[in-house]
Amino acid sequence: MQSISGIIYLILGACLLPYVFTFIAKKTSGLTAKDHQNPREALAKATGISARANAVQQNSFESLPLFIGAVLMAEYMVIPQSFIMTLGIAYIVLRIIYGICYLANWATLRSIIWTLSMLCPVCLLLIIIKIV
């Protein structure tokens, strides 16, 4: 069996990344102590960079199941770990770039980067399908 520690770090990094954008959304929105009683409602009313940071964190959470499932299935099917790590790191880096594009309000580039990031777990799953 392959060394699993790299896979664990990939998953941990992908799972923690949305919280970076949650932090940015909360810090830039000027939430008050009262707003922290119901931060989702307060962030739903956010505008500008706060709203975009909130959208990044929501989208990041939405993409996690596909990524985690693809990585774990690839590990289980004994896909070469170097391949899993390459696509996993690419996914995380692309998600960071996606977040930066979202914060900067670069819609077209953001969409391109989103597509590339989603292709990483999809490629893993297609490789699995091919070997099954």
Q: What is the CATH number of the domain that holds 57?
A: 1.20.120.550
Q: Are 49 and 10 in contact (CB under 8 A)?
A: no
How many domains in the chain?
1
How would DSSP label each residue in 70-83? HHHHHHHTT--HHH
Per-residue pLDDT tens digits of the chain, which is 132 residues long: 457 888 999 999 999 999 999 999 988 887 766 666 777 887 888 889 999 999 999 999 999 999 999 999 999 998 999 999 999 999 999 999 999 999 999 999 999 999 999 999 999 999 999 988
Predicted TM-score of the model (pTM): 0.91
Domain containing 59: what range? 5-131
